[in-house]
Chain A
Amino acid sequence: MTGNAAFKDRTAIAGIGQTDFAKGLPETELQLACMAIRTALDDAGVDASEVDALGCFTQETTPEFEIARNLGFGELHYFSQVAHGGGAICGAIGQVAMAIALGIAKVGVVWRSRKRGDPSKRQWAGVQPRIEDHWKWSRPHGLSRPVDEVAIMMQRYMHDHGATREDLAAVALTQRAYANSNPDALMREKLVDMAAYMDARMIADPLCLFDNCLESDGAIAIVITSADHARDLRKPPVLIHAFSQGMTREHQLMTDYHGADPFRSSSGATADNLWRQSDIRPADIDVAQIYDAFSPLVLFSLENYGLCGRGEAAAFVAGGGMGPGGALPVNTSGGSLSEVYLHGANLVTEGVRQLRGMAANQVEGVETCLVSTCDSTPNGALVLRR
Protein backbone atom coordinates (compact mmCIF):
# COMPACT_ATOMS: atom_id res chain seq x y z
CA MET A 1 0.00 0.00 0.00
CA THR A 2 1.48 3.30 -1.00
CA GLY A 3 0.24 6.82 -0.92
CA ASN A 4 -1.79 8.75 1.61
CA ALA A 5 -4.83 6.54 2.18
CA ALA A 6 -6.56 9.15 4.35
CA PHE A 7 -6.70 11.61 1.44
CA LYS A 8 -6.13 10.09 -1.95
CA ASP A 9 -9.12 9.81 -4.29
CA ARG A 10 -11.57 10.62 -1.47
CA THR A 11 -12.63 13.92 -3.03
CA ALA A 12 -13.32 15.08 -6.55
CA ILE A 13 -13.76 18.16 -8.68
CA ALA A 14 -17.40 17.88 -9.72
CA GLY A 15 -17.94 21.16 -11.53
CA ILE A 16 -16.12 24.01 -13.22
CA GLY A 17 -17.31 27.40 -14.40
CA GLN A 18 -15.89 30.50 -15.98
CA THR A 19 -16.93 33.88 -17.36
CA ASP A 20 -15.82 35.39 -20.64
CA PHE A 21 -12.13 36.31 -20.63
CA ALA A 22 -11.27 39.79 -21.93
CA LYS A 23 -8.99 42.80 -21.59
CA GLY A 24 -11.89 44.65 -20.04
CA LEU A 25 -15.26 43.33 -18.86
CA PRO A 26 -18.11 45.62 -17.70
CA GLU A 27 -19.05 43.52 -14.65
CA THR A 28 -17.53 44.00 -11.19
CA GLU A 29 -15.32 41.34 -9.62
CA LEU A 30 -18.26 40.32 -7.39
CA GLN A 31 -20.58 39.97 -10.37
CA LEU A 32 -17.97 37.95 -12.26
CA ALA A 33 -17.41 35.68 -9.25
CA CYS A 34 -21.16 35.05 -8.91
CA MET A 35 -21.49 34.23 -12.60
CA ALA A 36 -18.57 31.78 -12.59
CA ILE A 37 -19.77 30.02 -9.43
CA ARG A 38 -23.34 29.73 -10.74
CA THR A 39 -21.98 28.14 -13.92
CA ALA A 40 -19.78 25.72 -11.94
CA LEU A 41 -22.68 24.61 -9.72
CA ASP A 42 -24.83 24.07 -12.80
CA ASP A 43 -22.02 22.10 -14.44
CA ALA A 44 -21.90 19.82 -11.39
CA GLY A 45 -25.66 19.65 -10.93
CA VAL A 46 -25.37 20.83 -7.33
CA ASP A 47 -27.91 23.14 -5.72
CA ALA A 48 -26.41 26.31 -4.22
CA SER A 49 -28.00 25.51 -0.86
CA GLU A 50 -25.76 22.42 -0.56
CA VAL A 51 -22.53 24.45 -0.51
CA ASP A 52 -21.02 24.62 2.99
CA ALA A 53 -17.29 25.24 2.36
CA LEU A 54 -15.34 27.97 0.59
CA GLY A 55 -11.73 28.44 -0.39
CA CYS A 56 -10.15 31.52 -1.95
CA PHE A 57 -7.01 33.67 -2.14
CA THR A 58 -6.02 36.21 0.50
CA GLN A 59 -5.77 38.52 -2.54
CA GLU A 60 -9.42 37.86 -3.50
CA THR A 61 -11.46 41.05 -3.15
CA THR A 62 -14.88 39.35 -3.05
CA PRO A 63 -15.54 38.39 0.62
CA GLU A 64 -16.93 34.98 1.58
CA PHE A 65 -20.11 36.44 3.09
CA GLU A 66 -20.92 38.32 -0.10
CA ILE A 67 -20.36 35.21 -2.18
CA ALA A 68 -22.49 33.11 0.19
CA ARG A 69 -25.42 35.53 0.50
CA ASN A 70 -25.47 36.40 -3.21
CA LEU A 71 -25.49 32.80 -4.39
CA GLY A 72 -27.80 31.50 -1.67
CA PHE A 73 -25.43 29.01 -0.09
CA GLY A 74 -26.35 27.00 2.99
CA GLU A 75 -24.75 27.67 6.35
CA LEU A 76 -20.99 27.49 5.97
CA HIS A 77 -18.82 25.11 7.99
CA TYR A 78 -15.37 25.66 6.52
CA PHE A 79 -13.71 28.60 4.83
CA SER A 80 -10.02 29.24 4.28
CA GLN A 81 -7.83 31.65 2.37
CA VAL A 82 -4.42 30.95 0.91
CA ALA A 83 -1.69 33.56 0.44
CA HIS A 84 0.90 34.25 -2.25
CA GLY A 85 -1.16 34.93 -5.39
CA GLY A 86 0.11 32.62 -8.09
CA GLY A 87 1.13 30.06 -5.48
CA ALA A 88 -2.36 29.75 -4.02
CA ILE A 89 -4.94 27.98 -6.19
CA CYS A 90 -3.91 24.38 -5.48
CA GLY A 91 -3.66 25.18 -1.77
CA ALA A 92 -7.18 26.64 -1.78
CA ILE A 93 -8.55 23.52 -3.50
CA GLY A 94 -6.50 21.11 -1.41
CA GLN A 95 -7.59 22.66 1.88
CA VAL A 96 -11.28 22.47 0.96
CA ALA A 97 -10.73 18.88 -0.20
CA MET A 98 -9.15 18.05 3.18
CA ALA A 99 -12.18 19.49 5.00
CA ILE A 100 -14.47 17.32 2.86
CA ALA A 101 -12.28 14.20 3.19
CA LEU A 102 -12.37 14.61 6.99
CA GLY A 103 -16.14 14.99 7.06
CA ILE A 104 -16.10 18.61 8.25
CA ALA A 105 -17.91 19.86 5.14
CA LYS A 106 -19.79 18.34 2.20
CA VAL A 107 -19.62 20.63 -0.83
CA GLY A 108 -16.99 23.30 -1.41
CA VAL A 109 -16.50 26.13 -3.87
CA VAL A 110 -13.15 27.68 -4.75
CA TRP A 111 -13.10 30.80 -6.91
CA ARG A 112 -10.86 33.52 -8.31
CA SER A 113 -12.27 36.71 -9.78
CA ARG A 114 -9.95 39.36 -11.05
CA LYS A 115 -9.94 42.49 -13.16
CA ARG A 116 -6.36 43.01 -14.14
CA GLY A 117 -6.89 44.12 -17.73
CA ASP A 118 -6.26 47.73 -16.71
CA PRO A 119 -2.46 48.35 -16.49
CA SER A 120 -3.03 50.67 -13.49
CA LYS A 121 -3.92 47.55 -11.47
CA ARG A 122 -0.34 46.25 -11.67
CA GLN A 123 0.73 45.48 -8.12
CA TRP A 124 4.33 46.61 -8.60
CA ALA A 125 3.16 50.06 -9.64
CA GLY A 126 1.65 50.55 -6.17
CA VAL A 127 4.97 50.36 -4.28
CA GLN A 128 5.22 52.86 -1.42
CA PRO A 129 8.09 55.36 -0.90
CA ARG A 130 9.49 53.29 2.01
CA ILE A 131 9.63 49.48 2.08
CA GLU A 132 9.51 47.61 5.40
CA ASP A 133 9.40 43.97 4.29
CA HIS A 134 11.92 41.73 2.52
CA TRP A 135 11.53 43.67 -0.73
CA LYS A 136 13.66 46.43 0.86
CA TRP A 137 16.67 44.25 -0.19
CA SER A 138 15.89 44.33 -3.91
CA ARG A 139 13.38 46.98 -5.03
CA PRO A 140 15.55 50.02 -4.20
CA HIS A 141 18.12 48.53 -6.63
CA GLY A 142 15.62 48.58 -9.49
CA LEU A 143 14.54 44.95 -9.23
CA SER A 144 11.01 46.29 -8.98
CA ARG A 145 8.67 43.90 -10.85
CA PRO A 146 8.02 40.15 -10.73
CA VAL A 147 9.39 39.85 -14.28
CA ASP A 148 12.72 41.31 -13.12
CA GLU A 149 12.88 38.83 -10.25
CA VAL A 150 12.28 35.86 -12.57
CA ALA A 151 14.67 37.21 -15.25
CA ILE A 152 17.55 36.95 -12.75
CA MET A 153 16.86 33.21 -12.44
CA MET A 154 16.52 32.67 -16.20
CA GLN A 155 19.79 34.46 -16.95
CA ARG A 156 21.58 32.14 -14.52
CA TYR A 157 19.77 29.07 -15.91
CA MET A 158 20.96 29.94 -19.42
CA HIS A 159 24.51 30.33 -18.10
CA ASP A 160 24.43 27.02 -16.21
CA HIS A 161 22.87 24.88 -18.92
CA GLY A 162 23.67 26.59 -22.22
CA ALA A 163 19.99 27.27 -22.87
CA THR A 164 19.12 30.00 -25.35
CA ARG A 165 16.29 32.47 -25.95
CA GLU A 166 15.25 30.24 -28.88
CA ASP A 167 14.85 27.34 -26.43
CA LEU A 168 12.78 29.45 -24.04
CA ALA A 169 10.67 30.72 -26.95
CA ALA A 170 9.22 27.22 -27.29
CA VAL A 171 7.20 27.78 -24.10
CA ALA A 172 5.48 30.92 -25.37
CA LEU A 173 5.12 29.68 -28.95
CA THR A 174 3.73 26.27 -27.98
CA GLN A 175 1.21 27.82 -25.62
CA ARG A 176 0.21 30.42 -28.20
CA ALA A 177 -0.42 27.66 -30.73
CA TYR A 178 -2.64 25.86 -28.19
CA ALA A 179 -4.52 29.14 -27.58
CA ASN A 180 -5.04 29.59 -31.32
CA SER A 181 -7.28 26.51 -31.27
CA ASN A 182 -9.00 27.30 -27.94
CA PRO A 183 -12.14 29.38 -28.59
CA ASP A 184 -12.10 30.70 -24.99
CA ALA A 185 -8.51 32.00 -25.16
CA LEU A 186 -7.86 35.72 -25.21
CA MET A 187 -5.14 35.19 -27.83
CA ARG A 188 -7.12 32.78 -30.02
CA GLU A 189 -6.65 34.94 -33.11
CA LYS A 190 -3.15 36.32 -32.45
CA LEU A 191 -0.42 34.31 -34.14
CA VAL A 192 3.20 34.49 -32.99
CA ASP A 193 6.17 32.82 -34.67
CA MET A 194 9.87 32.60 -33.77
CA ALA A 195 10.72 35.73 -35.75
CA ALA A 196 8.07 37.76 -33.92
CA TYR A 197 9.29 36.38 -30.59
CA MET A 198 12.92 37.26 -31.28
CA ASP A 199 11.92 40.77 -32.46
CA ALA A 200 9.63 41.48 -29.51
CA ARG A 201 10.57 44.23 -27.10
CA MET A 202 12.56 43.21 -24.05
CA ILE A 203 10.88 43.65 -20.67
CA ALA A 204 13.65 42.32 -18.41
CA ASP A 205 16.57 40.84 -20.32
CA PRO A 206 16.49 37.92 -21.27
CA LEU A 207 12.66 38.00 -21.05
CA CYS A 208 10.63 39.67 -23.78
CA LEU A 209 6.97 40.63 -24.05
CA PHE A 210 5.82 37.10 -24.94
CA ASP A 211 7.46 35.62 -21.82
CA ASN A 212 4.94 37.56 -19.71
CA CYS A 213 1.40 36.52 -18.81
CA LEU A 214 -1.63 38.39 -20.08
CA GLU A 215 -3.34 41.20 -18.20
CA SER A 216 -6.97 40.22 -18.26
CA ASP A 217 -10.42 40.21 -16.64
CA GLY A 218 -12.44 37.14 -15.74
CA ALA A 219 -13.49 34.69 -13.07
CA ILE A 220 -13.26 30.93 -12.56
CA ALA A 221 -14.96 28.64 -10.04
CA ILE A 222 -14.46 25.01 -9.05
CA VAL A 223 -16.88 22.74 -7.14
CA ILE A 224 -15.42 20.06 -4.87
CA THR A 225 -17.22 17.25 -3.08
CA SER A 226 -16.63 13.71 -1.87
CA ALA A 227 -15.81 11.16 -4.56
CA ASP A 228 -18.93 9.20 -3.59
CA HIS A 229 -21.19 12.24 -3.94
CA ALA A 230 -19.47 13.26 -7.18
CA ARG A 231 -20.31 9.90 -8.79
CA ASP A 232 -24.03 10.72 -8.43
CA LEU A 233 -23.69 14.15 -10.06
CA ARG A 234 -23.98 15.41 -13.62
CA LYS A 235 -20.38 15.09 -14.83
CA PRO A 236 -17.79 12.32 -14.47
CA PRO A 237 -15.77 13.02 -11.32
CA VAL A 238 -12.16 14.18 -11.56
CA LEU A 239 -10.51 12.65 -8.50
CA ILE A 240 -8.10 14.61 -6.33
CA HIS A 241 -5.41 11.97 -5.93
CA ALA A 242 -2.67 13.87 -4.10
CA PHE A 243 -2.08 17.36 -2.75
CA SER A 244 0.68 19.27 -1.02
CA GLN A 245 1.74 22.79 -0.38
CA GLY A 246 5.44 23.56 -0.17
CA MET A 247 7.97 26.08 1.07
CA THR A 248 11.71 25.47 1.30
CA ARG A 249 13.71 26.18 4.46
CA GLU A 250 15.42 29.25 3.06
CA HIS A 251 12.50 30.52 0.96
CA GLN A 252 12.17 34.24 0.27
CA LEU A 253 9.07 35.32 -1.65
CA MET A 254 9.85 35.96 -5.36
CA THR A 255 13.46 37.00 -4.69
CA ASP A 256 14.37 33.46 -3.67
CA TYR A 257 18.10 33.81 -4.33
CA HIS A 258 19.59 33.16 -0.90
CA GLY A 259 19.23 29.42 -0.30
CA ALA A 260 22.00 26.91 -0.92
CA ASP A 261 20.46 26.00 -4.32
CA PRO A 262 18.11 28.69 -5.67
CA PHE A 263 16.85 26.34 -8.41
CA ARG A 264 15.58 23.87 -5.82
CA SER A 265 12.56 26.14 -5.29
CA SER A 266 9.46 25.66 -3.17
CA SER A 267 8.20 23.51 -6.06
CA GLY A 268 10.82 20.99 -4.95
CA ALA A 269 9.38 20.96 -1.43
CA THR A 270 5.86 20.52 -2.82
CA ALA A 271 6.95 17.83 -5.27
CA ASP A 272 8.72 15.64 -2.73
CA ASN A 273 5.68 15.54 -0.48
CA LEU A 274 3.23 15.25 -3.39
CA TRP A 275 4.92 12.17 -4.89
CA ARG A 276 5.32 10.65 -1.39
CA GLN A 277 1.52 10.59 -1.15
CA SER A 278 0.81 9.59 -4.73
CA ASP A 279 0.46 6.18 -6.38
CA ILE A 280 0.94 7.99 -9.68
CA ARG A 281 4.60 8.67 -10.50
CA PRO A 282 6.00 11.64 -12.46
CA ALA A 283 6.51 9.34 -15.47
CA ASP A 284 2.79 8.38 -15.30
CA ILE A 285 1.59 11.96 -15.78
CA ASP A 286 -0.23 12.24 -19.13
CA VAL A 287 -0.71 16.02 -19.27
CA ALA A 288 0.54 18.86 -17.05
CA GLN A 289 -0.76 22.32 -16.30
CA ILE A 290 2.29 24.22 -15.05
CA TYR A 291 2.04 27.72 -13.59
CA ASP A 292 3.31 30.18 -16.13
CA ALA A 293 3.03 33.84 -15.15
CA PHE A 294 6.48 33.99 -16.81
CA SER A 295 7.70 31.38 -19.25
CA PRO A 296 10.87 30.37 -17.30
CA LEU A 297 8.65 29.13 -14.46
CA VAL A 298 7.56 26.29 -16.76
CA LEU A 299 11.17 25.13 -17.17
CA PHE A 300 11.98 25.40 -13.47
CA SER A 301 8.77 23.58 -12.48
CA LEU A 302 9.20 20.74 -14.98
CA GLU A 303 12.55 20.03 -13.33
CA ASN A 304 11.44 20.45 -9.73
CA TYR A 305 8.47 18.09 -10.24
CA GLY A 306 10.77 15.48 -11.74
CA LEU A 307 9.14 15.66 -15.17
CA CYS A 308 12.52 16.59 -16.70
CA GLY A 309 16.05 16.09 -15.38
CA ARG A 310 17.95 19.04 -13.94
CA GLY A 311 18.97 21.39 -16.73
CA GLU A 312 17.05 19.40 -19.34
CA ALA A 313 13.73 21.30 -19.52
CA ALA A 314 14.90 23.87 -22.08
CA ALA A 315 15.94 21.17 -24.56
CA PHE A 316 12.73 19.27 -23.77
CA VAL A 317 10.44 22.17 -24.70
CA ALA A 318 12.61 23.22 -27.67
CA GLY A 319 12.30 19.66 -28.99
CA GLY A 320 8.50 19.83 -28.96
CA GLY A 321 8.07 17.86 -25.72
CA MET A 322 5.27 20.10 -24.36
CA GLY A 323 3.41 20.45 -27.65
CA PRO A 324 0.68 18.36 -29.29
CA GLY A 325 1.94 14.79 -29.61
CA GLY A 326 4.94 15.57 -27.39
CA ALA A 327 6.11 13.38 -24.53
CA LEU A 328 4.20 15.57 -22.04
CA PRO A 329 1.72 18.13 -23.37
CA VAL A 330 1.82 21.20 -21.07
CA ASN A 331 -0.59 24.12 -20.67
CA THR A 332 -2.89 22.84 -23.37
CA SER A 333 -5.38 25.74 -23.11
CA GLY A 334 -2.69 28.34 -23.76
CA GLY A 335 -2.22 28.94 -20.03
CA SER A 336 -1.51 32.28 -18.40
CA LEU A 337 0.61 33.38 -21.35
CA SER A 338 -2.12 33.02 -23.97
CA GLU A 339 -5.53 31.91 -22.58
CA VAL A 340 -6.12 34.17 -19.55
CA TYR A 341 -4.25 35.25 -16.45
CA LEU A 342 -6.32 34.38 -13.38
CA HIS A 343 -3.52 33.42 -11.00
CA GLY A 344 -3.49 29.91 -12.44
CA ALA A 345 -7.15 29.02 -11.84
CA ASN A 346 -7.49 28.33 -15.58
CA LEU A 347 -4.79 25.65 -15.29
CA VAL A 348 -7.07 23.71 -12.91
CA THR A 349 -10.12 23.97 -15.17
CA GLU A 350 -8.06 22.87 -18.18
CA GLY A 351 -6.83 19.86 -16.20
CA VAL A 352 -10.46 18.97 -15.47
CA ARG A 353 -11.47 19.33 -19.13
CA GLN A 354 -8.56 17.10 -20.20
CA LEU A 355 -9.61 14.41 -17.72
CA ARG A 356 -13.23 14.66 -18.89
CA GLY A 357 -12.02 14.26 -22.47
CA MET A 358 -13.58 17.55 -23.60
CA ALA A 359 -10.66 19.97 -23.93
CA ALA A 360 -10.22 22.14 -27.02
CA ASN A 361 -6.78 20.59 -27.51
CA GLN A 362 -7.68 17.16 -26.16
CA VAL A 363 -4.75 14.85 -25.47
CA GLU A 364 -5.69 11.28 -26.30
CA GLY A 365 -6.23 8.82 -23.47
CA VAL A 366 -5.57 11.18 -20.56
CA GLU A 367 -5.81 9.41 -17.21
CA THR A 368 -3.65 11.70 -15.02
CA CYS A 369 -2.83 15.40 -14.76
CA LEU A 370 -0.43 17.43 -12.63
CA VAL A 371 -1.47 21.00 -11.79
CA SER A 372 1.21 23.23 -10.27
CA THR A 373 1.41 26.79 -8.96
CA CYS A 374 4.03 29.55 -8.93
CA ASP A 375 7.63 28.28 -8.75
CA SER A 376 8.86 31.56 -7.19
CA THR A 377 6.51 31.70 -4.19
CA PRO A 378 5.32 29.34 -1.46
CA ASN A 379 3.15 27.08 -3.57
CA GLY A 380 1.22 23.85 -3.96
CA ALA A 381 0.19 21.25 -6.49
CA LEU A 382 -2.46 18.63 -7.23
CA VAL A 383 -2.37 15.25 -8.91
CA LEU A 384 -5.75 14.74 -10.59
CA ARG A 385 -7.01 11.52 -12.18
CA ARG A 386 -10.06 10.07 -13.85
Chain B
Amino acid sequence: MIETIPLPTTDDPVDHAFWQGCLDSQLLIQSCNDCGHVQHPPRAMCPMCQSMELGWNRASGMGTIWSYTIPHAPLLPAFAEIAPYIVAVIMPDDFPGLRIVGALADPGGNSIGGIDPGTVAIGMSVRLTFVQLVDDVALPCWFPAEAGITWEKEKQQ
Protein backbone atom coordinates (compact mmCIF):
# COMPACT_ATOMS: atom_id res chain seq x y z
CA MET B 1 0.00 0.00 0.00
CA ILE B 2 1.39 3.41 -0.95
CA GLU B 3 2.28 5.82 1.85
CA THR B 4 1.65 9.02 -0.13
CA ILE B 5 -1.51 10.58 -1.56
CA PRO B 6 -2.08 9.03 -5.00
CA LEU B 7 -1.30 11.68 -7.61
CA PRO B 8 -2.54 12.30 -11.13
CA THR B 9 -0.20 12.01 -14.09
CA THR B 10 0.19 15.53 -15.49
CA ASP B 11 1.89 14.85 -18.85
CA ASP B 12 -1.11 13.51 -20.78
CA PRO B 13 -1.73 15.82 -23.76
CA VAL B 14 -5.48 15.78 -23.03
CA ASP B 15 -5.21 17.34 -19.57
CA HIS B 16 -1.67 18.73 -19.28
CA ALA B 17 -3.02 22.30 -19.57
CA PHE B 18 -5.45 21.66 -16.71
CA TRP B 19 -2.63 20.69 -14.33
CA GLN B 20 -0.42 23.52 -15.61
CA GLY B 21 -3.30 25.91 -14.85
CA CYS B 22 -3.49 24.60 -11.29
CA LEU B 23 0.22 25.40 -10.81
CA ASP B 24 -0.71 28.98 -11.82
CA SER B 25 -3.68 28.96 -9.36
CA GLN B 26 -6.24 28.76 -12.18
CA LEU B 27 -9.07 26.26 -12.50
CA LEU B 28 -9.46 25.63 -16.24
CA ILE B 29 -12.59 24.10 -17.73
CA GLN B 30 -12.26 22.41 -21.11
CA SER B 31 -14.36 23.86 -23.93
CA CYS B 32 -14.74 23.07 -27.63
CA ASN B 33 -13.29 25.71 -29.94
CA ASP B 34 -15.74 24.67 -32.68
CA CYS B 35 -19.11 24.38 -30.92
CA GLY B 36 -18.51 25.85 -27.46
CA HIS B 37 -19.48 22.72 -25.48
CA VAL B 38 -17.90 22.69 -22.02
CA GLN B 39 -17.01 19.53 -20.11
CA HIS B 40 -15.21 18.17 -17.08
CA PRO B 41 -13.22 15.97 -16.70
CA PRO B 42 -11.33 16.85 -19.90
CA ARG B 43 -11.66 14.52 -22.89
CA ALA B 44 -9.72 13.90 -26.09
CA MET B 45 -12.72 14.88 -28.23
CA CYS B 46 -15.86 16.99 -28.06
CA PRO B 47 -18.81 14.53 -27.86
CA MET B 48 -21.16 17.08 -29.43
CA CYS B 49 -19.28 17.75 -32.69
CA GLN B 50 -16.29 15.32 -32.61
CA SER B 51 -13.84 18.20 -32.79
CA MET B 52 -10.37 17.77 -31.30
CA GLU B 53 -9.83 21.54 -31.24
CA LEU B 54 -10.34 21.95 -27.51
CA GLY B 55 -9.47 24.98 -25.44
CA TRP B 56 -9.83 26.20 -21.87
CA ASN B 57 -11.92 28.70 -19.91
CA ARG B 58 -10.92 29.94 -16.48
CA ALA B 59 -13.48 29.35 -13.71
CA SER B 60 -14.12 32.17 -11.24
CA GLY B 61 -13.38 29.96 -8.25
CA MET B 62 -16.79 30.25 -6.64
CA GLY B 63 -18.84 27.08 -6.30
CA THR B 64 -21.62 25.26 -4.50
CA ILE B 65 -21.50 21.86 -2.80
CA TRP B 66 -23.59 19.31 -4.77
CA SER B 67 -22.78 16.48 -2.36
CA TYR B 68 -20.01 15.25 -0.09
CA THR B 69 -18.82 12.39 2.08
CA ILE B 70 -16.61 12.01 5.12
CA PRO B 71 -14.33 8.97 4.73
CA HIS B 72 -13.33 7.02 7.84
CA ALA B 73 -10.94 4.08 8.36
CA PRO B 74 -9.82 1.84 6.76
CA LEU B 75 -8.01 4.25 4.43
CA LEU B 76 -4.71 4.64 2.62
CA PRO B 77 -2.10 5.80 5.18
CA ALA B 78 -1.92 9.34 3.74
CA PHE B 79 -5.70 9.76 4.09
CA ALA B 80 -5.88 7.97 7.46
CA GLU B 81 -3.56 10.70 8.81
CA ILE B 82 -6.04 13.47 7.96
CA ALA B 83 -9.36 11.60 8.52
CA PRO B 84 -12.08 12.53 9.03
CA TYR B 85 -11.87 14.92 6.10
CA ILE B 86 -14.48 16.06 3.60
CA VAL B 87 -14.44 15.34 -0.09
CA ALA B 88 -17.17 16.97 -2.12
CA VAL B 89 -18.64 17.27 -5.58
CA ILE B 90 -18.71 20.96 -6.44
CA MET B 91 -20.79 22.86 -9.00
CA PRO B 92 -18.69 25.80 -10.24
CA ASP B 93 -21.07 28.79 -10.12
CA ASP B 94 -20.09 30.09 -13.55
CA PHE B 95 -20.41 26.71 -15.34
CA PRO B 96 -24.01 25.56 -14.74
CA GLY B 97 -24.45 21.80 -15.05
CA LEU B 98 -20.76 21.02 -14.50
CA ARG B 99 -19.60 19.04 -11.48
CA ILE B 100 -16.04 18.59 -10.22
CA VAL B 101 -14.72 16.44 -7.37
CA GLY B 102 -12.77 18.41 -4.80
CA ALA B 103 -11.53 17.95 -1.25
CA LEU B 104 -12.23 20.68 1.26
CA ALA B 105 -9.08 22.32 2.57
CA ASP B 106 -8.05 25.30 4.66
CA PRO B 107 -8.24 28.71 2.93
CA GLY B 108 -4.46 28.93 2.68
CA GLY B 109 -4.25 25.62 0.85
CA ASN B 110 -1.88 24.10 3.38
CA SER B 111 -3.57 20.70 3.39
CA ILE B 112 -6.73 18.74 2.75
CA GLY B 113 -8.96 18.56 5.83
CA GLY B 114 -9.02 20.78 8.89
CA ILE B 115 -12.74 21.54 8.68
CA ASP B 116 -15.30 20.51 11.28
CA PRO B 117 -17.53 18.08 9.31
CA GLY B 118 -20.56 19.27 11.28
CA THR B 119 -20.37 22.69 9.62
CA VAL B 120 -20.63 21.46 6.02
CA ALA B 121 -23.87 20.97 4.07
CA ILE B 122 -25.16 20.47 0.55
CA GLY B 123 -25.83 23.86 -1.05
CA MET B 124 -23.04 25.60 0.89
CA SER B 125 -20.97 28.17 -1.02
CA VAL B 126 -17.29 27.37 -1.40
CA ARG B 127 -14.21 29.08 -2.79
CA LEU B 128 -11.28 27.65 -4.68
CA THR B 129 -7.83 27.13 -3.23
CA PHE B 130 -4.90 24.99 -4.33
CA VAL B 131 -3.01 22.46 -2.22
CA GLN B 132 0.50 21.97 -3.61
CA LEU B 133 1.28 18.26 -3.18
CA VAL B 134 4.45 17.87 -5.30
CA ASP B 135 6.25 20.00 -7.92
CA ASP B 136 3.83 19.19 -10.73
CA VAL B 137 0.57 18.77 -8.79
CA ALA B 138 -1.41 21.57 -7.15
CA LEU B 139 -4.77 20.02 -6.30
CA PRO B 140 -7.81 22.27 -6.83
CA CYS B 141 -9.61 22.19 -3.46
CA TRP B 142 -12.34 24.29 -1.84
CA PHE B 143 -13.11 25.98 1.45
CA PRO B 144 -16.44 27.22 2.86
CA ALA B 145 -17.09 30.82 1.82
CA GLU B 146 -19.56 31.48 4.63
CA ALA B 147 -18.68 33.13 7.93
CA GLY B 148 -18.60 31.15 11.15
CA ILE B 149 -16.68 28.12 9.88
CA THR B 150 -14.16 26.71 12.30
CA TRP B 151 -10.83 25.53 10.95
CA GLU B 152 -9.56 23.46 13.84
CA LYS B 153 -9.91 19.80 13.07
CA GLU B 154 -12.32 18.17 15.48
CA LYS B 155 -11.85 14.43 15.44
CA GLN B 156 -15.13 12.54 15.58
CA GLN B 157 -15.36 10.03 18.38
Measured CB to CB, the residues of A under 8 A from B are 119, 124-132, 134, 136-145, 148, 151-153, 155-156, 159, 201-207, 249, 252, 255, 257-258, 260, 262
Contacts and interface: CB of A to CB of B under 8 A. Distances in A.
Contact of B6 (A127, A206, A207, A249): A127
For A139, A206, A262, the residue with the greatest tally of chain B CB atoms inside 10 Å of its CB is A139
A129 B76 contact: no
A144 B76 contact: yes
B51 interface: no
B148 interface: no
B81 to A, nearest CB: 11
B72 A127 contact: no
B28 interface: no
A129 B76 CA distance: 11
B8 interface: yes
A130 B7 contact: yes
Contacts of A260: 97
8 contacts: A127-B76, A131-B8, A142-B103, A205-B72, A249-B47, A255-B101, A258-B98, A262-B99
A156 B99 CA distance: 13
Q: Is the interface of A mostly helix, strand, loop or mixed?
A: mixed
B2 to A, nearest CB: 5
B67 to A, nearest CB: 4
Contact of B41 (A125, A207, A258): A258
A156 B67 contact: yes
Given A144-B79, A148-B71, A125 B1 contact: yes
B41 A137 contact: yes
Contacts, number: 124
A257 B101 contact: yes
Contact of B133 (A131, A140, A156, A204): A140
Contact of B141 (A139, A141, A155): A141
Contact of A203 (B15, B72, B82, B89): B72
B89 A131 contact: no
Contacts of A140: 5-8, 133, 137, 139
A156 B121 CA distance: 10
A159 B6 contact: no
Given A130-B7, A136-B8, A144-B76, A202 B70 contact: yes
A128 B7 CA distance: 9
B119 interface: no
A258 B8 contact: no
Nearest to A209: B72
Given A144-B79, A156-B122, A130 B6 contact: yes
B63 interface: no
Given A152-B89, A205-B117, A143 B69 contact: yes
Interface string B119-130: 000110000000
B102 interface: yes
A143 B7 CA distance: 12
B9 A132 contact: yes
A137 B101 contact: yes
B8 A148 contact: no
Nearest to A250: B47
A205 B67 CA distance: 11
Contacts of B82: 142
Interface string B13-28: 0010000000000000
Nearest to B141: A141
B125 to A, nearest CB: 16
B143 interface: no
Nearest to A205: B70
A134 B43 CA distance: 10
Nearest to A260: B97
Contacts of A129: 2, 4, 6-7
A136 B8 CA distance: 5
B68 interface: yes
Nearest to B103: A141
A151 B8 contact: no
Contacts of B108: none
Contacts of B123: 159
Interface string B29-69: 00000000001110000010000000000000000001111
